[in-house]
Amino acid sequence: MALLTGKTIVIMGVANKRSIGWGGAVSAAKQGAKLVLTHRSERAGEQIRKLLAELPDTSASVVRCDVTDDASIEEAFAQIGESTGRIDGIVHSIAHANVEDLQGEFVGTSREGFLLAHNISAYSLVAVARAARPLMTSGGGIVTMSYLGGERAVENYNVMGVAKAALESAVRYLAKDLGKDNIRVNAISAGPIRTLAAKGVRGFNDVLHTMQEKAPLGRNVDAEEVGDVTAFFLSDLSRGVTGEVIHVDGGYHIVG
Ligand code: N5H
């Protein structure tokens, strides 16, 4: 039997076919999950509908959710609850910072830019976990996406690194709270992947190149590989794991 048969998984943050969240959607669908995808922009909604048409199982639904708006989160999860009754997992693959805060010196980050990055990239996990909890009546898994820049000061990552550090810490505090409901909360620290979010950001190609050169596996990783680890975290195979950050980066983080 597939790993996620009978489970409903909500995937948040797919913008197009290159999105890491879409890697999670494909892996979860392969493992038999029923999918609900959420999006903010109309454009992302259209992209998602097109992508879903390529999946063999067409029972997936699409719901609008703006994670900067509590009412929108409430409405989205009320809608999901009405249509599915119960959810078994969440994939949170959402981040955003002003492009001017992703280059040059971190010390120049404005208060507004700092708060924006933390609001969308870290607080959103807390708000979503709170809204999803009452629907996760059989327990389940919440998985979010991080990057090495949350642990190290990586050129250009700047405010997003500080937001990822907050996100990884939120994973541990949420895991502590939600463990009593048998809800596990984990993060994947993914290697650099050419997504829409990465498009146009300074220094991205250099990071891809260094990764290929230095990672023990000698190559970059892709969204499907991150998706498979996401499916593992959503499944009962990882039932003893919570509050963890696992690197899916070809081993890059272990080398000096
Ligand atoms: C060291 C690096 C390269 C430099 C930093 C990149 C940071 C990227 C993350 C954020 C989420 C990108 C972002 O917010 C871009 C926006 O300012 C502009 N783009 C958009 O608004 C597009 C349209 C929408 C779809 O994107 C978002 N996110 O809203 C890090 C890289 C090697 C790895 C990487 C790219 C990490 C990461 O966190 O994504």
CA of 95 to the centre of ligand 1 (A): 7
Ligand 1 contact via 165 beta carbon (within 6 Å):
no
Please confirm, yes or no, whether 157 is among the known catalytic residues: yes
The answer to whether 160 and 95 are in contact (CB under 8 A) is yes
| Residues forming beta bridges with residue 245, ordered by sequence position | 187
Atom of ligand 1 nearest to the CA of 156: 4
Task: Report pLDDT digits (tens) over 206-223.
Answer: 999 999 999 999 999 999
Contacts of 184 (CB under 8 A, 6+ apart): 139, 140, 141, 142, 175, 178, 233, 238, 239, 241, 242
Nearest CA to ligand 1 atom 30: 157
| Total-model pTM | 0.98
Ligand 1 contact via 97 beta carbon (within 6 Å):
yes
Domains of the chain: residue spans and CATH: 8-254 (3.40.50.720)
**1 has a pLDDT exceeding 80:** no
Which of 123, 157, 173, 252 does the annotation list as catalytic? 157
Mean per-residue pLDDT, 22-44 = 97
**162 has a pLDDT exceeding 80:** yes
Mean per-residue pLDDT, 11-17 = 97
Phi-psi region of 12 (alpha: psi -120 to 50; beta: other; left: phi over 0): beta
CA distances (Å), 209 to each of 75, 135, 219, in order?
43, 43, 9
CA of 124 to the centre of ligand 1 (A): 16
- Here the ipTM equals 0.98
Task: Report pLDDT digits (tens) over 94-147.
Answer: 999 999 999 999 999 999 999 999 999 999 999 999 999 999 999 999 999 999
| Residues forming beta bridges with residue 91, ordered by sequence position | 11, 143
Residue 38 — pLDDT band, cuts 50, 70, 90? very high
Atom of ligand 1 nearest to the CA of 197: 26
Mean per-residue pLDDT, 73-89 = 97
Ligand 1 contact via 167 beta carbon (within 6 Å):
no
Ligand 1 contact via 122 beta carbon (within 6 Å):
no
Which of 123, 147, 173, 252 does the annotation list as catalytic? 147
Nearest CA to ligand 1 atom 22: 197
Atom of ligand 1 nearest to the CA of 20: 39
Instruction: Among 42, 102, 105, name the best residue to mutate to test ligand 1's pocket (greatest count of ligand atoms within 8 A of Cβ).
Output: 102
